[in-house]
Chain A
């Protein structure tokens, strides 16, 4: 209250001073009176804080506060406003309407009006400001200016905070100590531990994405050891299902998408991108450090240029591919690399300086320059010569000299070609500059045809083609006298074709062999390399000539027989004639310009790239830009990366993240309620070799994780002071992700096919029993059952939505899948129950489907429903009324809130 007195004085003082100015006083007094009348309050410092400052903050601070001070003007305190900028004081209390601030915000001249972007201020906002000036611009005495953005909590490296000491010594896990101290400070108390059954279900679903079965529930319930949970957790973290469960989470965050486009034409992502998915799963199961994972995703092609296993990781970059617009492609890469790994909205710098974080427009393009040279290609894998069938989509630096330019106001049609932008980290994050060193690549990394298995692939394929051609000819010869329906001329024609095919396959085989020999000699620098190259070229051209000759024969025959379609046949014949001329000339040549065996094929840079340019040799060096970026990113001093990672992991265990804005840790993001816990977890991750399994273990063994989600016995204080559970005094119930809803039913029915990895399953294959993360998942193709449960958007999914809509009920109630699973689960329970009483069946069904024992009321309901269903089934003369009824009970339990809920 004391603080308000001087401000009231201020009003009186200003008003009294105005009384001397007779002309103005009437007007201003009226204005003040109007203002008071309008808001019913005196215009004082509170008015400023409540009404004026928020408007300025929202619309003006970006350019006129600590970030930029344009025209020397700051508007983040009343003192600064009065002080003004290059053009003088921003306000004049005695000449309200000629105040510069007011003049600019009310100007009708588009070039003069402030703010320059977006709509003008509303008349209400303008009068709030005018009234405040008229009242003498009262403001709190000790108004604090905006702090230096570099001091923002998330821009400074986390220091490991000391774990506090509590008087209650029962808290051991540092997570609990931090949380309990905070809870005590606000006066909330944690609820009781959850039951063992629910706990086991929670930890199973969280770590492996499958519910526990009855035997596992019984065993856990019967284990009195204080380490019982720890034993389970260790076992689950060792399970390969862990990688599938958490792989899907990281696939959300890293925007996993199978390829899509029109027909067979790739427009987004890449074919065989599932190799990236498998790399994620395998890396998680091997507990590869999070830092190492990021390095491989961003730069494995530079760090491990010949390690195909690791090259799969650059599928992260390959997935960003967009055929029609390179800028959209790179924009999405920059946006989602920064959001997912750094928790920053770099994308805001595309068109202008960032409005909240100290990121300049040009710095956005410095980030782009890091990625400018990269393109995508598909490397051949052992055993498959056809890159349409398999291959590893991966990144590589292709256009080493591609310049990056600032796009004026973000418009890619308007690049500023005067200045090439060099790669760099934004200044406010440059705790360390990028250390860019160009990288010499091993010869078979940039000439993948030299990888030993590539020649083998090609030779086997040529051999196979030859074998097939010979078999086809044999078949015709053997069948020669048998098939009477064919005329003699038909027979001889197909025999001729088959003979031609054999001859061609022989030539091809010879050519491939010669090319392989030439490739090998070139790689080893053998003395006879030149000679072998000439031979290879000769064989290749001979095969080409043969092919041209054969084509000419076919074209000629077609032309001779062509009726109405003479024009087409004529074109083909003409083409064949000119082809054979070229081929004849080629065989006369004696140079060694043969085609090396294909070991990798670049994806078209855009719809304008030609077949020739995509087949140009790959560069011998890589710029090293992405390696430098990856090293900067995973430096232990990086203030954001570990914090962002622990926040992602925490959110998926607790249902709510510690930093609510998971992809914005910047100044516009919401700061954490538990900053020390964030920092402690972040440093704990880094100091334990970035082991995510270490973090999971720490979290799920904490007391906080093991609390009940019920508020039934919560204190009134808890509900009043923290209804949103920001202090984690209870668990948060969560809706299962789409994949888990389906996988759980398969598992309960003992139907789950646990085969891991490999090509994605067609989205429409409802009969598949594989885990759901293996379904094709792209922008235009997704499994419809999964979509119903808020499956991840491939464009952006930092958190899954948890909608509750009737279609979900229909899917679990009516789908063939739910019906089939209900029958299997019911049969399974009948098998293990050995008893025929409905009572026993109902108890087991509860335990099997939602992991808990039914209470008396639930049991009674279930039993009476079984009776009703049985008599309804009898009335309809069903064959086995009892088992029908039991299937319906199981189906009802699938639809129980606590099936789709992780309690």
Chain B
């Protein structure tokens, strides 16, 4: 038996430049380290075994950017990307009354690692609940999807639908788990975006490389964790007048006036460099100020959506109140991708543990939520494709888990971890395919099962990064943290 060590956070000893990577200090110094190494500021040393990343991929990348669309609360897989007619056929029956009784085999249910014992939610629901929406085949590939996603369906030939995901947290800590690969009870671990930010250099020095839009729940509000806050996503609001924290000067100060001030800081710091010629922090701070000044104008410019044509506005649903908010975020996503932002995280659905969390009233909940996101997401895919950006951009559409085949209360579905769906598109992933499958009632992933970190490994792989090399001294990563790239789905 393999040991299932969750606590050991310490890895094997390595020799290293302790200046940048003293244990206990987090990894913020490392960002600086790679920046300086790239600029040739830091002298090399022969005794180095482990080194901070140099910002370059490990092998030739297939994709440059990642768009990570996350539906907070848990999307019903059966009513979106994995329709299950058997639910309607056996509606109202308990699972053990159906031919699929083995789904409740206690051995199989051991996958769950309970966070809140005896919680009202996160329970198995016995009585099958009929599908709340019809489904049909979309595109040349004929992928079966629900009637709630006609626009995404129209992009079916670009999608790779993965129907065999599983996770272990039966509560919304699974949001954290989807991003970091670790169960909430294990503690806090860096998210995929943080690892990408840590591993790869900048595509455009006028922009932060890791941004986030939409509200995140508090247990999933940060990214860097032991890599340090320098690897947290920078929150962006789709509001050109106030797009990011401290993004513009307080009070009436013109950019000419501010430029004088910024220049002065740079000049002062360069003069200090005469007295402190070997101070790497000083050099890095000079660069950070230059980037900060540029970000003040570059970020609002991206968020000024008025420069886009009416056709584009329509493509994203900006002309419809139902789709306008998410549509603006999707359009902003495309503009960030165009300008070389590496990792863009968008969360849909604030409130409670996430707006998709349909413990009751699933029909009303999901039809409204899909209406909000379906057209904008499809608009983004089309727009990326027509601008030749889809090939170099991976788009992921996911939520923390699926929902139970059985009914909760009168008309809801509970959290479901044993099998659920996500999809990926672009970035060298073959479109028009379905990978993996759940059983006939959508309970267990039964074919090509994937834990959430396989998604991480696949994305890293397409970015030219080897998952296994994403680690730092003093922090042990487990096998399951690394995941395995899903090579079968690549173009």
- Please determine whether chains A and B interact with each other in the same assembly: yes
Name A residues whose Cβ lies closer than 8 Å to a Cβ of B.
Answer: 58, 116-119, 260, 324-325, 328, 331-332, 335, 345, 347-348, 350-352, 355, 409-411, 606-608, 656-657, 660-664, 668-670, 709-712, 719, 723-724, 733, 735, 779-780, 784, 787-788, 790-791, 793, 795, 798-811, 813-816, 818-819, 855, 857-858, 861-862, 865, 868-869, 872-873, 876, 888-889, 891-893, 895-898, 901
CB of B261 within 8 A of CB of A891, answer yes
> Residue on B with the closest CB to A738?
B229
Provide 24 A-B residue pairs closer than 8 Å at the C-beta atoms, listed in order of the A residue: A116-B3, A325-B185, A656-B22, A661-B23, A662-B24, A664-B474, A709-B276, A733-B279, A733-B281, A780-B221, A788-B246, A790-B26, A793-B225, A803-B228, A804-B32, A808-B292, A809-B288, A810-B245, A810-B292, A811-B246, A819-B251, A872-B257, A889-B264, A901-B281
User: A897 vs B228: C-alpha distance in the bound complex, in angstroms?
Assistant: 21
Given contacts A801-B228, A865-B260, A872-B257, 5 further A-B contacts (CB under 8 A): A324-B117, A351-B8, A779-B218, A805-B230, A893-B268
> Residue on B with the closest CB to A734?
B281
B251 / chain A contacts, CB cutoff of 8 Å: 819
Which residues of B8-54 have CB atoms within 8 Å of chain A's CB atoms? 8-10, 12-13, 17-19, 22-29, 31-32, 43
Given contacts A735-B281, A858-B268, contact A351 B248 (CB under 8 A): no
User: A896 vs B229: C-alpha distance in the bound complex, in angstroms?
Assistant: 22
CB of B119 within 8 A of CB of A803, answer no
B185 / chain A contacts, CB cutoff of 8 Å: 325, 328
CB of A803 within 8 A of CB of B291, answer no
The smallest beta-carbon distance between B244 and chain A, in angstroms, is 8
> Residue on B with the closest CB to A865?
B264
The 7 A-B residue pairs with the shortest CB-CB distance in the complex, in nearest-first order: A803-B28, A809-B292, A801-B28, A801-B26, A803-B230, A798-B24, A806-B292
Between B257, B274, B291, the greatest number of chain A beta carbons within 10 A of the residue's beta carbon is seen for B257
The smallest beta-carbon distance between A642 and chain B, in angstroms, is 19
CB of B8 within 8 A of CB of A347, answer yes
Does B439 have its Cβ within 8 Å of any Cβ on chain A?
A: no
Partner of B260 from the list A711, A799, A868 (CB cut-off 8 Å) is: A868
CB of A888 within 8 A of CB of B261, answer yes
Partner of B3 from the list A345, A352, A801, A813 (CB cut-off 8 Å) is: A352
User: A711 vs B280: C-alpha distance in the bound complex, in angstroms?
Assistant: 12
CB of A897 within 8 A of CB of B10, answer no
> Residue on B with the closest CB to A59?
B12
B276 / chain A contacts, CB cutoff of 8 Å: 709-712, 733
> Residue on A with the closest CB to B219?
A780
CB of B268 within 8 A of CB of A814, answer no
Partner of A872 from the list B225, B228, B260, B275 (CB cut-off 8 Å) is: B260
CB of B281 within 8 A of CB of A804, answer yes
Partner of A806 from the list B218, B225, B261, B288 (CB cut-off 8 Å) is: B288
User: A659 vs B218: C-alpha distance in the bound complex, in angstroms?
Assistant: 35
Does B322 have its Cβ within 8 Å of any Cβ on chain A?
A: no
CB of A351 within 8 A of CB of B4, answer yes
Does B308 have its Cβ within 8 Å of any Cβ on chain A?
A: no
Name B residues whose Cβ lies closer than 8 Å to a Cβ of A.
Answer: 1-10, 12-13, 17-19, 22-29, 31-32, 43, 115-119, 185, 187-188, 208, 218-219, 221, 225, 228-230, 234, 244-251, 253-254, 256-258, 260-265, 267-269, 271-272, 274-279, 281-282, 284-286, 288-289, 291-293, 295-296, 474, 479
User: A790 vs B479: C-alpha distance in the bound complex, in angstroms?
Assistant: 30
CB of A802 within 8 A of CB of B28, answer yes
The smallest beta-carbon distance between A521 and chain B, in angstroms, is 42
> Residue on B with the closest CB to A806?
B292
> Residue on B with the closest CB to A351?
B5
Given contacts A347-B8, A608-B118, A803-B28, contact A897 B288 (CB under 8 A): no
User: A897 vs B266: C-alpha distance in the bound complex, in angstroms?
Assistant: 9
The smallest beta-carbon distance between A406 and chain B, in angstroms, is 14
The smallest beta-carbon distance between B263 and chain A, in angstroms, is 8
CB of B275 within 8 A of CB of A710, answer yes
B2 / chain A contacts, CB cutoff of 8 Å: 116-117
Partner of B268 from the list A117, A119, A896 (CB cut-off 8 Å) is: A896
> Residue on B with the closest CB to A714?
B278
A901 / chain B contacts, CB cutoff of 8 Å: 281-282
The smallest beta-carbon distance between B485 and chain A, in angstroms, is 15
Given contacts A724-B18, A803-B229, contact A809 B289 (CB under 8 A): yes
> Residue on A with the closest CB to B291?
A806
User: A808 vs B285: C-alpha distance in the bound complex, in angstroms?
Assistant: 10
CB of B288 within 8 A of CB of A790, answer no
The smallest beta-carbon distance between B289 and chain A, in angstroms, is 5
Given contacts A724-B17, A888-B260, contact A807 B234 (CB under 8 A): yes
A709 / chain B contacts, CB cutoff of 8 Å: 276, 279
Given contacts A803-B29, A873-B257, A897-B269, contact A607 B18 (CB under 8 A): no
> Residue on A with the closest CB to B268?
A896
A710 / chain B contacts, CB cutoff of 8 Å: 275-276
A780 / chain B contacts, CB cutoff of 8 Å: 218-219, 221
The smallest beta-carbon distance between B305 and chain A, in angstroms, is 23
User: A625 vs B80: C-alpha distance in the bound complex, in angstroms?
Assistant: 56
CB of B229 within 8 A of CB of A799, answer no
CB of B7 within 8 A of CB of A347, answer yes
User: A606 vs B54: C-alpha distance in the bound complex, in angstroms?
Assistant: 46
The smallest beta-carbon distance between A590 and chain B, in angstroms, is 40
B291 / chain A contacts, CB cutoff of 8 Å: 806, 809
> Residue on B with the closest CB to A900?
B285
User: A869 vs B292: C-alpha distance in the bound complex, in angstroms?
Assistant: 20
CB of B262 within 8 A of CB of A795, answer no
A607 / chain B contacts, CB cutoff of 8 Å: 116-119
User: A317 vs B32: C-alpha distance in the bound complex, in angstroms?
Assistant: 36
The smallest beta-carbon distance between A343 and chain B, in angstroms, is 10
A815 / chain B contacts, CB cutoff of 8 Å: 246, 250
The smallest beta-carbon distance between B245 and chain A, in angstroms, is 6
A735 / chain B contacts, CB cutoff of 8 Å: 281
User: A409 vs B208: C-alpha distance in the bound complex, in angstroms?
Assistant: 42
A332 / chain B contacts, CB cutoff of 8 Å: 187
CB of B31 within 8 A of CB of A805, answer yes
> Residue on B with the closest CB to A411?
B4
B261 / chain A contacts, CB cutoff of 8 Å: 813, 865, 869, 888, 891-892, 895
Partner of B5 from the list A410, A711, A803 (CB cut-off 8 Å) is: A410
B218 / chain A contacts, CB cutoff of 8 Å: 260, 779-780
B281 / chain A contacts, CB cutoff of 8 Å: 733, 735, 802, 804, 897, 901
The smallest beta-carbon distance between B331 and chain A, in angstroms, is 24
A260 / chain B contacts, CB cutoff of 8 Å: 218
The smallest beta-carbon distance between A121 and chain B, in angstroms, is 13
Partner of A799 from the list B1, B6, B24, B247 (CB cut-off 8 Å) is: B24
CB of B3 within 8 A of CB of A351, answer yes
> Residue on B with the closest CB to A814?
B246
User: A411 vs B117: C-alpha distance in the bound complex, in angstroms?
Assistant: 16
B268 / chain A contacts, CB cutoff of 8 Å: 858, 861, 892-893, 896-897
B479 / chain A contacts, CB cutoff of 8 Å: 118-119
The smallest beta-carbon distance between B222 and chain A, in angstroms, is 9
User: A352 vs B10: C-alpha distance in the bound complex, in angstroms?
Assistant: 14
CB of B265 within 8 A of CB of A668, answer no
Partner of B247 from the list A324, A347, A663, A810 (CB cut-off 8 Å) is: A810
CB of A410 within 8 A of CB of B265, answer no
CB of A723 within 8 A of CB of B43, answer yes
CB of B7 within 8 A of CB of A348, answer yes
CB of B115 within 8 A of CB of A325, answer yes
User: A455 vs B52: C-alpha distance in the bound complex, in angstroms?
Assistant: 62
CB of A862 within 8 A of CB of B264, answer yes
The smallest beta-carbon distance between A52 and chain B, in angstroms, is 16
B8 / chain A contacts, CB cutoff of 8 Å: 345, 347-348, 350-351, 355
The smallest beta-carbon distance between A330 and chain B, in angstroms, is 11
User: A685 vs B244: C-alpha distance in the bound complex, in angstroms?
Assistant: 48
Given contacts A801-B29, A806-B208, contact A790 B7 (CB under 8 A): no
CB of A409 within 8 A of CB of B1, answer yes
The smallest beta-carbon distance between B226 and chain A, in angstroms, is 8
> Residue on A with the closest CB to B228?
A801
B274 / chain A contacts, CB cutoff of 8 Å: 712
